[in-house]
Amino acid sequence: MLESFFPILILFLLATITPAVMLILPKILAKRESDPVKDAPYECGIPAEGDARERFPIKFYLIAILFLLFDIEAVFLYPWAVIYRKLGVFGLVEMVVFIVILLIGYLYVIKKGALRWQ
Amino acid sequence: MISLPIINFSVIYPEIIILVTAIAVLIADLFIKGDRRAPISLIALAGIIMAAFAIHAQWGANVSGFSGAIIVDNYALLFKYIFLVGALLTLFLSVWYLQREELFSGEYFFFILISIVGMMILSSSNELITAFLGLEIMSIPLYLLAGFDKGKLRSNEAALKYLLMGAFASGFLIYGIAFIYGSMGTTNFDEIVRALSSDSLDTDPLILIGISMIVIGFAFKTAFVPFHSWVPDVYTGAPTPVTAFFSIAPKAAGFAILFRLLTVAFSPIFVNLSTMLWVLAVLTMSVGNLIALTQRNIKRMLAYSSIAHAGYILVSLAIGTSKGTEAGLFYLLAYTAMNAGAFGMVILLGHKGEDDLTISSYGGLSRRHPVAAATMSLFMFSLAGIPPTAGFIGKFNIFSNAISAGFIWLAIIGVINSVISVYYYLRVIITMYMKPEADSVTTVTYPPSLLVAIILAAWGTLHIGLFPNGWLLFIRESVVGLYQAL
């Protein structure tokens, strides 16, 4: 039974050795010179401005959470659409109930002003 | 057509009624603004009453649905009654409180109703994954309810603490379910019984690990020692009607599934589990009562006392027979009435902001408000287990059944604990009747909705205590079907 995992073992070894070699070789071969441009996050991009750990409005968080919620719920439509014909009327009714509950949630979000950017 | 699982919505129509009511409450809240929102609670009330009638119509049924995942028997229906009574009492406790603390909103009732749906599924579940689903539907609104007083630091702390502990407990539960499925290949209770009784001689250690982890998962919700650490802070921080709800309904839900799981599904190996429950019962009773002795805050004292009461019900769970289950359910019923009443009195005697909830703030209450003091005393006597109240009959039932089942030491420890508890319950009564008057007792208003809850609770406490036979028969009728198949 364990023999069937042999290719995975080889892959595991390869995955360990390759990055190790790639990390160790430059340490031995490369020259080390550093200047401010070289140490910047993007050496050949636009110069960075400020820190990435900045405070930003909590509204982003709310929008992100709401997006996640509705996005995940929309994902449920895909498997249903794939076997729509096989499920028949029952599947349709179930999905309508689901969408209606989703719509009530959407209505709630709008009415509560969660999407208003003020 | 592909083969669908057998779905018959007719078995869960009380749940559907509550769910539709919850959504109606949410929509109503969107369109009714400001001070005219009080009728929203009436929608919730109507839904609860309709669901109670639906359960009444289902009484006596013994059907399963959703391919055996849901079972509707009298046992499940009895628990659904308890949840609905808990929700009803919470509703009456809440309305005035929410207006006083300026917290009134439709979401509050939405959370209560959704949580009740989860509990109803939990009590009806005949399969572990369904039980997990019910537990989560129940828990998530509870986390939100704990933090409902958004402006208060304590309430936020309560919500966060409850969420983290609850999520951790769910992890235990689902891991335990994985062990059970791994060792038996099924999560259905009927099939678990069959699998266990066929090879009971060499019990797989994985099964024991699995069931222990499942018990831990539910023990967090029902607050057994040593899984109780969240209880005092959450109970103190949450709004008081929410605390009342926490101490009644989720606890009953936890016991609903524990009784069915341990004494029915795992009945062939119950002997191996009994010791674990014995230890849990002794720990829960003793730690709850001993720490309650030193509490000055009334909500904190009631939190520890609710831990202790879970310990008494655990004694009946450790017995593991149908008689034990009956005693446990009877106690749960009595506990629902008396605890809701006690919290109702805390709400009645509190003031806006609730910054002073010490027991000493009740000093001299009997002189200015003799009726309020007498009612509070009734609930305290009942919690302490003094006749002629419901608490006495409940405790008597549990301990006498424990003795006749051979659990002599458990009964002795239980009675000792019961005596310890008298001290801190009587301290409230002594403060009310014998201490000098505190400033806070001078103004007490009597809002009608809150009075309804307290009168209902007082009626329950006295009626169960004075005429227990009808209630005992009612419970026997609901438990008898549970053990018939064994």
User: What residues in A contact B144, CB-CB < 8 Å?
Assistant: none
R_g of chain A computed on alpha carbons: 26
Residue B26 to residue A104, Cβ atoms within 8 A: yes
Q: Chain-wide mean pLDDT for chain B? A: 91
Quick check: is A49 in a domain?
A: no
Average confidence (pLDDT) over B441-452: 84
Classify each residue of B77-109 as buried b or exposed e, where b means 16 or more C-beta atoms within 10 Å of its C-beta. bbbbbbbbbbbbbbbbbbbbbbebbebbebbbb
Quick check: is B485 in a domain?
A: no
Inter-residue contact B117 to B5 (CB < 8 Å): no
How close is the nearest chain B Cα to the Cα of A109, in Å? 10
Phi, psi of B38 (to 5 degrees): -55, -35
pLDDT band for position B200 (cuts 50, 70, 90)? low
Residues forming beta bridges with residue B120, ordered by sequence position: none
Distance between CA atoms of A33 and A37, rounded to whole angstroms?
11
Taking only residues 73 to 102 of chain A, the set having a beta carbon closer than 8 angstroms to any beta carbon of chain B reads: 83, 86-88, 90, 101
Of all residues in chain B, the percent with pLDDT exceeding 70 is 97
Average confidence (pLDDT) over B385-389: 90
Distance between CA atoms of B72 and B21, rounded to whole angstroms?
21
Average confidence (pLDDT) over B52-57: 94
Phi, psi of B7 (to 5 degrees): -115, 115
Q: What is the pLDDT of residues B251-270, one digit of tens each?
A: 999 999 999 999 999 988 88
- Nearest CA among B284, B273, B289, B275 for reference residue B314: B284
C-alpha angle A95/A98/A103, rounded to 5°? 125
Distance between CA atoms of B308 and B424, rounded to whole angstroms?
12
Instruction: Please determine, for residue B5, whether its predicted confidence score (pLDDT) is greater than 70.
Output: no
Q: Which of A8-17, B50-59, B100-109 has the lowest mean pLDDT?
A: B100-109
How close is the nearest chain B Cα to the Cα of A108, in Å? 7
User: What residues in B contact A107, CB-CB < 8 Å?
Assistant: 27, 30
Q: What is the pLDDT of residues B268-279, one digit of tens each?
A: 888 888 999 999
Q: What is the pLDDT of residues B450-460, one digit of tens each?
A: 999 999 999 99
How close is the nearest chain B Cα to the Cα of A87, in Å? 6
Class of residue B240 by CB neighbours under 10 A (exposed 0-12, middle 13-18, buried 19+): buried
Quick check: is B484 in a domain?
A: no
The pLDDT value recorded for residue B310 is 95
pLDDT band for position B57 (cuts 50, 70, 90)? very high
pLDDT band for position B174 (cuts 50, 70, 90)? very high
Quick check: is A47 in a domain?
A: no
Inter-residue contact B385 to B418 (CB < 8 Å): yes
Instruction: Please determine, for residue B373, whether its predicted confidence score (pLDDT) is greater than 70.
Output: yes
Instruction: Please determine, for residue B379, whether its predicted confidence score (pLDDT) is greater than 70.
Output: yes
Residue B1 to residue A88, Cβ atoms within 8 A: yes
pLDDT band for position B87 (cuts 50, 70, 90)? very high
Distance between CA atoms of B372 and B198, rounded to whole angstroms?
59
Q: Which of A28-42, A51-65, B270-284, B306-320 has the lowest mean pLDDT?
A: A28-42
| Helix segments in A30-83, DSSP class H | 36-39, 59-75, 77-82
- Nearest CA among B441, B468, B431, B213 for reference residue B333: B468
Domain, as residue range, for B440: 9-479
Task: Say if residue A70 is in the same domain as residue A34.
Answer: no
The pLDDT value recorded for residue B115 is 96
| Pick among A104, A106, A109, A110 to test the B interface (most B CBs inside 10 A) | A104
- Nearest CA among B362, B194, B209 for reference residue B272: B209
Indicate the number of domains in chain A: 2
Quick check: is A44 in a domain?
A: no
Distance between CA atoms of B88 and B99, rounded to whole angstroms?
18
Phi, psi of B357 (to 5 degrees): -120, 30
How close is the nearest chain A Cα to the Cα of B38, in Å? 19
Taking only residues 12 to 51 of chain B, the set having a beta carbon closer than 8 angstroms to any beta carbon of chain A reads: 23, 26-27, 30
- Report yes or no: B201 at the A interface, CB cutoff 8 Å: no
The pLDDT value recorded for residue B31 is 87
Quick check: is B164 in a domain?
A: yes
Quick check: is B52 in a domain?
A: yes
Indicate the number of domains in chain B: 1
How close is the nearest chain B Cα to the Cα of A86, in Å? 5
Helix, strand, coil proportions of chain A in percent (round to 5)?
A: 70, 0, 30
Residue B2 to residue A104, Cβ atoms within 8 A: no
In this complex, the residue of A83, A86, A108 whose CB is nearest that of residue B30 is A108
- Report yes or no: A104 at the B interface, CB cutoff 8 Å: yes
Q: What is the pLDDT of residues A54-87, one digit of tens each?
A: 888 888 888 899 999 888 888 888 988 898 888 8
User: What residues in B contact A83, CB-CB < 8 Å?
Assistant: 2
pLDDT band for position B136 (cuts 50, 70, 90)? very high
The pLDDT value recorded for residue B167 is 93
Task: Say if residue A70 is in the same domain as residue A99.
Answer: yes
Complete DSSP assignment for B97-111? HHHHTT---HHHHHH
Task: For residue B53, give Cα distances in angstroms to A99, B7, B25.
Answer: 29, 23, 20
Instruction: Read off the amino acid at residue B404.
Output: S
Q: Tokens 């160790």 belong to which residue?
A: A24
Among chain A residues, CA nearest to B107: A108
Distance between CA atoms of B146 and B238, rounded to whole angstroms?
5
Inter-residue contact B44 to B25 (CB < 8 Å): yes
The pLDDT value recorded for residue B398 is 95
How many helices (H) and strands (E) are present in chain A, helices listed first?
A: 5, 0
3-state class of A107 per DSSP? helix
In this complex, the residue of B1, B2, B27 whose CB is nearest that of residue A104 is B27
Task: For residue B6, give Cα distances in angstroms to B3, B11, B17, B66, B69.
Answer: 9, 12, 21, 5, 10
Quick check: is A83 in a domain?
A: yes
The token pair that represents B336 in the structure block: 């629902």
- Report yes or no: A111 at the B interface, CB cutoff 8 Å: yes
Instruction: Please determine, for residue A39, whether its predicted confidence score (pLDDT) is greater than 80.
Output: no
User: What residues in A contact B30, CB-CB < 8 Å?
Assistant: 107-108, 111-112
Quick check: is A75 in a domain?
A: yes
| Pick among A108, A109, A110, A111 to test the B interface (most B CBs inside 10 A) | A108
Distance between CA atoms of B484 and A85, rounded to whole angstroms?
44
User: What residues in B contact A106, CB-CB < 8 Å?
Assistant: none
Inter-residue contact B140 to B204 (CB < 8 Å): no
Query: Other CB atoms closer than 10 Å to residue B310's CB: what's the count?
Result: 28
Distance between CA atoms of B207 and B210, rounded to whole angstroms?
5
Among chain A residues, CA nearest to B28: A108
Taking only residues 7 to 26 of chain A, the set having a beta carbon closer than 8 angstroms to any beta carbon of chain B reads: none
Nearest-10 crossing angle of helices B128-146, B106-124:
160
Distance between CA atoms of B76 and B486, rounded to whole angstroms?
17
Among chain B residues, CA nearest to A90: B4
Give this complex's ipTM: 0.78
| Kind and range of the H or E run holding B381 | helix B370-384
Domain, as residue range, for A63: 59-111
Quick check: is B4 in a domain?
A: no
Quick check: is B345 in a domain?
A: yes
The CATH number covering residue A70 comes to 1.20.58.1610
How close is the nearest chain A Cα to the Cα of B338, in Å? 38
Quick check: is B222 in a domain?
A: yes
Instruction: Please determine, for residue B201, whether its predicted confidence score (pLDDT) is greater than 60.
Output: no
Residue B27 to residue A107, Cβ atoms within 8 A: yes
Task: Say if residue A71 is in the same domain as residue A31.
Answer: no
Distance between CA atoms of B20 and B14, rounded to whole angstroms?
10
